[in-house]
Structure 1
Amino acid sequence: MGIVRTPVGRTSGHGGRKPAEVHAYTLDTGNGFAATVWTYGATLVEVLVPDSAGRAENVVVRLPDLRSYEDRRSPAYVGATVGRYCRCVSGGAFSLDGVVHELDRNDGAHHVHGGPLGFDGQVWEADAETRGDRLVLRLTLQSPDGDQGYPGDLTAEARYELGPDGRLVFEFGAVTTAPTIVGLTNHAFWNLSGGSEPIDGHRLALNSRRTVAFDDELIPLPGPPRDITGTPLDYTRPRRLDRARLDTFYVLDDPAWAAELCHEASGRTMWVITDQPGLGVYSADHYRTPRAGLCLEAGAWPDAPNRPDFPSVRLDPGQRYRHRTVHEFPIARS
């Protein structure tokens, strides 16, 4: 068991930012269960999980090199920590206390996943430590007032924790100097086959009977979430993904569990538990390698800054934003 820090390279300084050194931190439990995180984007680039025969393979999609992660022409947010606000803000603007804040737009008229230079494209500060049988990596980022149009100086934190119980824990936090909005998530693409095949053979179960209804631009429609019981979007009972195209936000009403993903051939299963109010599920049909992985993004509801009927994403000075999501791999602890 241990933590290893290795250099990855130096950023190219895109967006007018100064070039910076990037490092990889590998948290290794010593039993085949390990995770590697880069300081660029606080990005999860590898999660090694044993199969039923004890062979450890990477179960998240990764890109070949740092330059691929830096490519802002068509960012896929592969494994990145997404913020200051994940998902969409319609029209690229929102109002707080009667003041309209214009955000940088990166999806036509809209703002998505923190903007053109969101948290996924920045180098975070990192420190790592061993706490008993837990391996902990803490990454922090300073986002100044006006960054991508957001108000307030924000201090963000992404914390990864790994232990011999087969659990990978994401914990996000933030504090602000002025009223703002916050919603952080991890954008990993999961593939329990070890990447040897598309996700179609996986079985998915979701603890949700409602989804947010979207228009053609993936902006929420007026009205409450829709009941999907008995429809093709209903995964309350485990079933194969096959060719199902998913880019949907599921409402989570029960904190006991959020999702279960299984790959029978490898024997790998992943359980997802979160304190967040919803789960974005994306089958990567528009990724460079279609259906290479499945995103299960716990976090805030889409366009919540403009929807007073959705759970609030407001953060005020003196408060602390908190988010905890656990990905549990039972085979890794056996």
Structure 2
Amino acid sequence: MDSYTLDSGHGLAVTVWTYGATLVEVLVPDRNGTTGNVVARLPDLASYEDPAVNAYVGATVGRYCRCVADGRFTLDGVEHRLDRNDGRHHVHGGPLGFDRFVWDAEATQTDELLTLCLRLDSPDGDQGYPGALQAEARYEVDRHGRLTFDFRATTTAATIVGFTNHAFWNLSGTAGRTIDDHRLAINSDRTVAFDADLVPLAGPPRDIAGTDLDHRAPKPLGARPLDNFFVLDDPSWAAELSHRASGRTMRVRTDQPGIGVYSGDHYRQPRAGICLETGPWPDAPNRPDFPSVRLDPGRTYHHRTIHEFSNAGVDRA
């Protein structure tokens, strides 16, 4: 396992491990210029390797993030059965998903951009998925305070693909603090409704305008639990997380159709961070009414999400 640090020299520094293509540390200054880590991290590699401890902390999740109901889907008339790891369901790529492997890595640098490109080959039949998949996760850091996740994949046979990053964000920059004093805005007026297993219910997304889930204007998190999937229609922005005491703000933009928001209530340290997982809709392989997650040979899967950090009173020029 190798560790890489991408230091912009302008306040933002990011550490990534090749194990799970995992985001381990994101150092961002507060309004006074004091640097703190704004993602949850585990104490050592053994903790990341232990599935009883590691709830996908900072990992690149695939082949398919979120759930595939009953661990099966049909493609071109052929039923594919996936390895199940959440009762009768398949979640976050299965018991040996992309978060459990060491990826190959190559770092490059230009005057404007630091890039770590991680690659993983997933053979045909891996966790039950058809097609041999070549996966790529790029972390990009620029001098303007932006961290970008850029995911790509190609396949040898028709398959399904949907990656995300599973970081737990906490802008306080202080270990042990909860996210209860953060404010969250989400550019969405619809959610995908779930059953008790977090499998989408029949029918279209639900209108949440005027309800407790309406975060179109910034709203304090408090102690409210969130484990929801929000539909994104406007690519100009997806979410904004802010922490008044530190002055830190993180604005998220993506080309993806939705964002999963999880307040970490069942994490080993409850509410130590909040997940903002951009990517495909849950159980989309079984829902023709949802945005397609199909990938065919000769095509390239591409997912790009940008996290932009700002700090009141901190000059990042």
Structure-2-length-normalised TM-score? 0.97
CA contact (8 A) 1:92 1:111 kept: yes
Q: Which residue of 2 aligns with 1:164?
A: 143
Q: What one-letter code is carried by the residue in structure 2 that aligns with 1:297?
A: E
Comparing 160-169 and 324-333, the one that deviates more: 324-333
Aligned-partner SS, 1:40: coil
Q: What one-letter code is carried by the residue in structure 1 that aligns with 2:169?
A: W
Aligned-partner SS, 2:47: helix
CA contact (8 A) 1:275 1:323 kept: yes
Matched, 1:313 2:293: yes
Deviation digits for residues 272-293 of structure 1, max 9, x if unmatched? Answer: 0000000000000000000000
**Deviation of the 1:150 alpha carbon:** 0.3
Q: What one-letter code is carried by the residue in structure 2 that aligns with 1:181?
A: I
**Deviation of the 1:74 alpha carbon:** 5.5
Q: What one-letter code is carried by the residue in structure 1 that aligns with 2:287?
A: R
Q: What one-letter code is carried by the residue in structure 1 that aligns with 2:14?
A: A
Aligned-partner SS, 2:276: strand
Identity between Structure 1 and Structure 2 (%): 70
**Deviation of the 1:318 alpha carbon:** 0.3
Aligned-partner SS, 1:136: strand
Q: Which residue of 1 aligns with 2:27?
A: 48
Q: What one-letter code is carried by the residue in structure 1 that aligns with 2:270?
A: P
Structure 2, unmatched stretches of 5+, are none
CA contact (8 A) 1:25 1:36 kept: yes
Aligned-partner SS, 1:60: coil
Q: Distance in 2 between matches of 1:74 and 1:136?
A: 29
Aligned-partner SS, 1:200: coil
Dislocated runs of 4+, deviation >3 Å: none
Deviation digits for residues 283-304 of structure 1, max 9, x if unmatched? Answer: 0000000000000000000000
Q: What one-letter code is carried by the residue in structure 2 that aligns with 1:229?
A: A
- Equivalent positions of 1:135-146 (< 5 A) are 135-146=114-125
CA contact (8 A) 2:150 2:302 kept: yes
RMSD (CA atoms) = 0.9
Q: Distance in 2 between matches of 1:107 and 1:201?
A: 31
Aligned-partner SS, 2:2: strand
Q: What one-letter code is carried by the residue in structure 1 that aligns with 2:62?
A: G
Q: Which residue of 1 aligns with 2:284?
A: 304
Aligned-partner SS, 2:180: helix
Deviation digits for residues 253-276 of structure 1, max 9, x if unmatched? Answer: 110100000000000000000000
Q: Distance in 1 between matches of 2:264 and 2:51?
A: 18
Q: Distance in 1 between matches of 2:257 and 2:62?
A: 17
User: Which protein, 1 or 2, shows the higher relative CO under an 8 Å CA cutoff with sep ≥ 6?
Assistant: 2
Matched, 1:154 2:154: no
Comparing 87-96 and 192-201, the one that deviates more: 192-201
Q: Distance in 2 between matches of 1:163 and 1:113?
A: 29
Deviation digits for residues 178-198 of structure 1, max 9, x if unmatched? Answer: 000000000000000013420
Q: Which residue of 2 aligns with 1:246?
A: 226
CA contact (8 A) 2:295 2:301 kept: yes
Q: What one-letter code is carried by the residue in structure 1 that aligns with 2:211?
A: T
Structure 1, unmatched stretches of 5+, are 1-21
Q: Which residue of 2 aligns with 1:15?
A: none
Comparing 66-75 and 199-208, the one that deviates more: 66-75
Matched, 1:179 2:128: no
Q: Which residue of 1 aligns with 2:101?
A: 122
- Equivalent positions of 1:273-284 (< 5 A) are 273-284=253-264
Q: Distance in 2 between matches of 1:230 and 1:137?
A: 42
**Deviation of the 1:244 alpha carbon:** 1.1
Deviation digits for residues 3-34 of structure 1, max 9, x if unmatched? Answer: xxxxxxxxxxxxxxxxxxx0000001123310
CA contact (8 A) 1:275 1:324 kept: yes
Structure-1-length-normalised TM-score? 0.92
